[in-house]
Amino acid sequence: MGLKHVLDINAYDHVLFLIALMIPYAFKDWTRVLVLVSLFTFGHTLALILSVFGIVYIKESLVEFLIPITILITALFHLFTAGKNGKKESITFVAVVTLFFGIIHGLGFSNYFKAVMAGNANDKLVPLLEFALGIEAAQIIVVLVVLILAYLAQTVFRFSKRDWALVLSSFIIGVVLPMIIESEIWNRN
């Protein structure tokens, strides 16, 4: 279920966030990439656990608004830092932000997960952990595809790292802005 959640073409917000997160990285940055992806999964899973066990509840419309905001912030960050050396940027800052954004994305999926688990109220932890493993596997697939595309764009098509970051960030911003504008949060009665 976690694999399907991330790779669902109709729920592309998760993939958009991963693409935005991976903009400045290449294969040589694999340890940093793995840490960030795993932190995102941890945040996502933590939010699901807190929600499924009734510890945290946030209105669905607010979470559905915050998810594209996290994507926008990530893309804007990379748009304005395009071409700058990412080695100077603290992994701690990026890690904390990624963890927080994982929590927001996990809360966005919690209502669906609770509905699926309604019939099995006794054992929720094992399916949650299985779901987390599926998310991690799917995220690694997405990240590999993004890194391969970045490699091709920068070597075969001769995009500079800066141009790649500018184009991809701009594309993501263009896709996510309508999601924010069309959000239910603006149409409250």
Summarised one tens digit per residue, pLDDT across range 38-64 is 999 999 999 988 988 889 888 888 998
Report the pLDDT averaged over residues 12-36: 91
Q: What is the pLDDT of residue 129?
A: 85
CA–CA separation, 18 and 36 (whole Å): 10
Q: What is the pLDDT of residue 3?
A: 86
pTM higher than the cut 0.75: yes
* pLDDT-derived band at 118, boundaries 50, 70, 90: low
* pLDDT-derived band at 86, boundaries 50, 70, 90: low
Q: Is the dihedral of CA 168, 76, 187, 40 positive or negative?
A: positive
- 34's tokens: 């793995």
By the 8 A CB rule, do 144 and 15 touch? no
* pLDDT-derived band at 144, boundaries 50, 70, 90: very high
pLDDT at 2 over 70: yes
Higher pLDDT, 115 or 79: 79
